[in-house]
Structure 1
Amino acid sequence: MSTNTFAVVIPLYNKEHYIARAITSVMAQTRPVDEIIIVDDASTDSSIDKVARFQDPRIRLLRRTDPQQRGLPATRNVGIRSARSRWIALLDADDSWREDFIEEIEKLLTRASDRTGMLFTGWENIWSSGVTRDPYSASRDQLGFTQLNFDSFVSTWLRLGSCPVMCSGVVLRRDMVIEAGLFQERCRRGEDKEMWLRLLYIADALASPRICSSYYRSIPGQMQQSITTHVRHCVCATLEDLITQSSGKRRRLLMRLFNHEVLEYARAVHQRERVSPEIYRGFFVSIDPYRYFILLSLSYVPVPIQQLIRRFVLWTSGVIGIPRRGTGSQFR
């Protein structure tokens, strides 16, 4: 494998209206990728037909046909394992890149070291009501490229109130992703955040504030529309493992991140149901007693009052440090 070879892995499941946009954005890159790997996850619409219209020797269409084993983590892993390139760019089928995404990634590579395992850029959120910028790139707009180790990554995550990385704006070093254990196929959602934590535990990241990708937030069938009220966010178990391995400042950072992600997940639960205590099992009450009180109220008070809590408390970023809608919360 040469140093600067790039594969893009595009998971595909019933995105017939969007997949052409994603592929077109890849083919328009000013620095072309070397492989385009599309992994279909037993689609039942005409997504495959849309892919077949593109005649490009770099495209490989892989198909997973077992409808009982669908899921983004497994689909991404198929693409990563099959890639021959050193660097793996991720792109969801309903998102797109700007034409200079890979070019900007190559600029980041000029600063890379042997420990660099992640490269990422800024992105724009495309809502039905308008466009917003991700909070990390907005906070670094005039500061250029940034190197992040594990602790600074977690600190930045907490400072912003949202993860600095979005799947369709990241490039990963293939051998390091494999060493970290690939995406966890047990995850029903949040597999991206869980992966970033494990990867950056053994590697560093380089980031550019330049906006180079678009995250379309109002697509029917997205994962954030199917949050369950009875299952913990899959990042919780990983954070618990990392906490047991850590001490001092790092341990407290991870405990704070655990609490933050638990409350973010509870905040996104459908308003017609109560939050199951299972969601916040393991919450570090001594660090955030006020947030714990909010979680208890979401479990035990009547649903109409819960709706008031969400409206007047959970959406108030100045009170408990949670970003308002549109600032980058990522339940994908």
Structure 2
Amino acid sequence: MFSVIIPVYNKYPHLDRSITSVLKQKFEEWELLLVDDGSTDGSLEKARSYSDKRIKVFQRNEPGPGGYAARNLGIAKAKYNWVVFLDADDEWLDNHLVTFFELISYQPNAKIVSSSWKDNFEDNKEERSFPNSYHKKHQAKGIHEIELKAFLKNSIYGAPPFWTGAVGFRKDLLLEIGGFPEGRCKRGGDVDTWLRAIFYGKLAIWSPKLTVVYHRDSVNMVTKVEGFEVGCEATTVKQLASLTEDKQIIRLLFQFLNARVVSRWLQTLRVGKKTQPLWGKVKWKYLTKKGFAITFWSILPTAITKQLYRLASKAKYD
């Protein structure tokens, strides 16, 4: 039923947690594909230490940015018709796969399934968990369908309905869209894939059940170590916009791209990396009021920009 893919690159401290969360699933018809991306910290040996016959370990010699190449290898090796993902530093609750099975039974025509997740923050003093923004806004609807326009609108205002560990796809859809953008970008490849999937797959089904924990404390998080770049979504948005005559979809696509660029700029600012002015990197015609304000901030001295960011930390672009 489900092929579970976990890309692994130097995640030794977290690997037991993620693998164990798959082993504890109430729904038992699955295979787990662990794709090591050239780890040097013992992660490969840890992956090979599990004796469950449903677990398969594959090895790549060179790490690929974002784990995109590792996921694509997993997709190629997957034997089931539904493919789901989990990052090596996150975990599922035991109801995750059974929730996906229920969604597929509820809407057999959907090629994308998604559940809700909670963001978990840990520091030396305390651990804090919060449901994601889409869950907060839409949980009262219960199970519901999501089409392209709804995906774009919610993503623009900081409430995307999909996230890597909480989304699943028909394998044929992933193959149709070319999988993850390995070799095309260092960051943003997950979102780029979700965008192409909902554009071509047309329909997703979403459950308000919280089934995944997104750990924000993990080692080697891409958002912690990378600097600012526009990302591969820019090329994808332009390509998709050229394939439709729907003016609302075109507008939403470019608003989505602006939101992604601004969000990435804010992430770069937050982790203390050097930022660049956003002039020329956003489409002025499609900026929201918040996007325009942040674009203006980007030309100010860094010290002032950081202070403004603290004051506006609740803005839904981030």
**Change in 2 beyond 3 A, CA 1:171/1:289:** closer
Give yes or no for the alignment of 1:182 onto 2:179.
yes
What's the TM-score once normalised by structure 2's chain length?
A: 0.91
C-alpha distance in 2 between matches for 1:6 and 1:316 = 37
Structure 1: gaps (5+ residues): 323-328
The AA in structure 1 aligned to 2:3 is: A
**Change in 2 beyond 3 A, CA 1:179/1:188:** same
**Match 1:120 to one of 91, 109, 114:** 114
The AA in structure 1 aligned to 2:86 is: L
The AA in structure 2 aligned to 1:206 is: I
Counterparts of 1:33-72 in structure 2 under 5 Å? Answer: 33-67=29-63, 69=64, 71-72=66-67
Give yes or no for the alignment of 1:134 onto 2:128.
no
Contact 1:187–1:234 (8 Å) recurs in 2: yes
Give yes or no for the alignment of 1:305 onto 2:304.
yes
How far does the alpha carbon of each residue in 1:50-69 deviate from its partner, in whole angstroms, 9 at most, with x for none?
223311111110000124x4
Aligned equivalent of 2:220 = 221
**Aligned pair count?**
309
Give yes or no for the alignment of 1:164 onto 2:161.
yes
Aligned equivalent of 2:294 = 294
Structure 2: gaps (5+ residues): none
How far does the alpha carbon of each residue in 1:198-254 deviate from its partner, in whole angstroms, 9 at most, with x for none?
01111111110000111101112101102313x212222211222233332111111
The AA in structure 2 aligned to 1:150 is: L
The AA in structure 1 aligned to 2:115 is: T
**Change in 2 beyond 3 A, CA 1:50/1:227:** same
The AA in structure 2 aligned to 1:283 is: V
C-alpha distance in 1 between matches for 2:215 and 2:112 = 22
C-alpha distance in 1 between matches for 2:144 and 2:279 = 33
What's the TM-score once normalised by structure 1's chain length?
A: 0.87
Aligned equivalent of 1:325 = none
Counterparts of 1:206-217 in structure 2 under 5 Å? Answer: 206-217=205-216
Contact 2:120–2:130 (8 Å) recurs in 1: yes
C-alpha distance in 1 between matches for 2:5 and 2:102 = 21
Let me know the Cα RMSD of the aligned residues.
Answer: 1.9
**Match 1:150 to one of 134, 148, 152:** 148
Counterparts of 1:84-123 in structure 2 under 5 Å? Answer: 84-114=79-109, 116-123=110-117
Give the drift of 1:273.
4.9
**Change in 2 beyond 3 A, CA 1:283/1:22:** same
C-alpha distance in 1 between matches for 2:250 and 2:117 = 30
C-alpha distance in 2 between matches for 1:215 and 1:58 = 24
Q: Which secondary structure does the structure 2 equivalent of 1:140 belong to?
A: helix
C-alpha distance in 2 between matches for 1:166 and 1:280 = 29
User: % of aligned pairs identical?
Assistant: 26
C-alpha distance in 2 between matches for 1:274 and 1:214 = 30
C-alpha distance in 1 between matches for 2:269 and 2:132 = 24
C-alpha distance in 2 between matches for 1:70 and 1:64 = 13
